[in-house]
Amino acid sequence: MPREINILNGSFLEPVRLDVISRRLELTFSAPVNLIRANLDLRAAYDSSRRQAHSTELLSQILNGTFDVRCKRIGIVDVDLFIPVLTFVFGEAQLRGTAAIVSTHRLSNQFYGLPRDEDLMIRRLEKEMVHELGHTFGLLHCHQFECVMRASTYVEEIDLKQNHFCDICCRQMLRVTGGG
């Protein structure tokens, strides 16, 4: 079990908007959650030819931070993320590791030319945070349609998922964390 989870907020989201997610993460992962303001170097990760930030570079910055190695860390940024083999990613995580990163950029309705819906964006963010943190616990992508661990290529797929693990992934989490 992680000692705690640190949310490293490098986004424009106000801490009050992340409080609900923090509480849900505490319940999901049975660990205290801390919200910390992050100063990630977005310029070091920026690829001007793609006009996106390389998520692996940001993940590396999170890994190199001065945190207890028993803590899970998840960064939140507002910039568009990519990895070289994909056009974009909603997030990235270190499988069976301690760090993950997610972006609000493509979770926002405005990106798709739709009216602003901050509550919807926060629900999407919560699902992506649970998903990426699930990877840090060793969970792989799930084939269950509504499981939060199902891979999402489009934001509509995030909307169809639940904000929690299916029974199979829940059992895997219990095995990993010593709860079952």
pLDDT digits (tens, 9 = 90+) for 14-26: 989 999 999 999 9
Mean per-residue pLDDT, 53-74: 86
Tell whether the model's pLDDT for residue 180 goes beyond 60.
no
Which amino acid is residue 21, in one-letter code? I
Mean pLDDT of the chain: 92
Q: pLDDT at residue 178 above 90?
A: no
| Cα(177)–Cα(180) distance, integer angstroms | 8
Whole-number pLDDT of residue 1: 54
The residues that are catalytic are 132
What distance in Å separates the CA atoms of residue 14 and residue 59, rounded to the nearest whole number? 22
- The whole-number pLDDT of residue 65 equals 74
Looking at residue 161, its amino acid is: K
Q: Rounded to whole angstroms, how far apart are CA atoms 85 and 9?
A: 26
Tell me the per-residue pLDDT of 87-134, one tens digit each, with 9 for 90 and over. 999 999 999 999 999 999 999 999 999 999 999 999 999 999 999 999
Asked if pLDDT for residue 54 goes beyond 90, the answer is: yes
| pLDDT tens profile 134-144 | 999 999 999 99
Query: Could you tell me the domains of the chain?
Result: 5-128 (3.40.390.10)
Q: How far is CA 49 from the centre of its chain?
A: 25
Report how far residue 97's alpha carbon sits from residue 161's, in angstroms, rounded to the nearest whole number.
24
The mean pLDDT value for 154-180 works out to: 90
User: What pLDDT sits at residue 67?
Assistant: 63
With bands split at pLDDT 50, 70 and 90, how would you rate the model's confidence at 60?
Answer: very high
Half-sphere exposure of 151 (CA within 13 A, CB side): 5
Q: What is the pLDDT of residue 179?
A: 66
